[in-house]
């Protein structure tokens, strides 16, 4: 008999309800004419500099408090490099080594028993765009309106 205990962790993304994107002032509203809510910053054009959305930071701190996390006074941003057609910058700004929230927990009721779900981390990142596939004409089109919309990633243990 094995002495291993199966452990399943989840990564859950939640979109933050902000008016603007996480690193620029473009609208974060869903939909709209394709590619109408983009700017040089969320498109990653050379020479542009991101400016962090204060409301997104407030929301992630609130999420951390709700999930009993330790809130870091300092954080670090990283570029995760991807080559996806719906990611015009070819990278995503995220937090790997120093997220905003660490080591939390959420209590849930399962079949009348209280269960503790451990939260490893909660970090802030930006969403990618979306691909729209036209099967009739056999083409795929990219809509970059969603690029840069703020997300939190909640990682359980």
Q: What is the mean pLDDT of residues 132-143?
A: 90
Is the pLDDT confidence value at 1 over 70?
A: no
Please report, to the nearest 10 degrees, the dihedral formed by the alpha carbons of residues 30, 80, 50, 43 taken in order.
-50
What would the 3-class secondary structure string for the chain be? Answer: CCCCCCCCCCEEEEECCCCECCCCCCECCCCCCCCCCCCCCCCCCCCCCCCCCHHHHHHHHHHHHHCCCEECCCCCCEEEECCCCCCCCCEEEECCCCCCEEEEEEEEEECCEEEEEEEEEEEEEECCCEEEEECCCCEEEEECCCCCCEEEEEEEC
Mind listing the pLDDT tens digit for each residue in 60-83? 999 999 999 999 999 999 988 988
CB under 8 Å to 73, separation ≥6 — which residues? none
How far is residue 151's CA from residue 59's CA, in Å, rounded to a whole number?
10
pTM of the shown model = 0.85
Mind listing the pLDDT tens digit for each residue in 39-59? 999 888 999 999 999 999 999
């Amino acid at each position: 008999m094995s002495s291993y205990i199966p452990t399943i962790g989840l990564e859950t993304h939640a979109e933050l309800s902000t008016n603007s994107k996480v690193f620029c002032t473009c609208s974060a509203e869903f939909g709209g004419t394709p590619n109408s809510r983009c700017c040089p910053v969320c498109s990653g054009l050379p020479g542009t500099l991101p400016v962090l959305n204060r409301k997104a930071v407030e929301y992630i701190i609130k999420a951390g408090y709700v999930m009993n996390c330790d809130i870091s006074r300092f954080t670090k941003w990283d570029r995760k490099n991807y080559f996806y057609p719906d990611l015009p910058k070819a990278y995503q700004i995220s937090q790997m080594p120093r997220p905003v929230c660490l080591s939390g927990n959420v209590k849930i009721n399962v079949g009348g028993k209280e269960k503790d779900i451990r939260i490893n981390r909660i970090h802030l990142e930006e969403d990618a765009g979306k691909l729209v596939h036209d099967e009739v004409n056999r083409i795929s089109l990219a809509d970059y309106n969603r690029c840069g919309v703020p997300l939190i990633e909640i990682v359980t243990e």
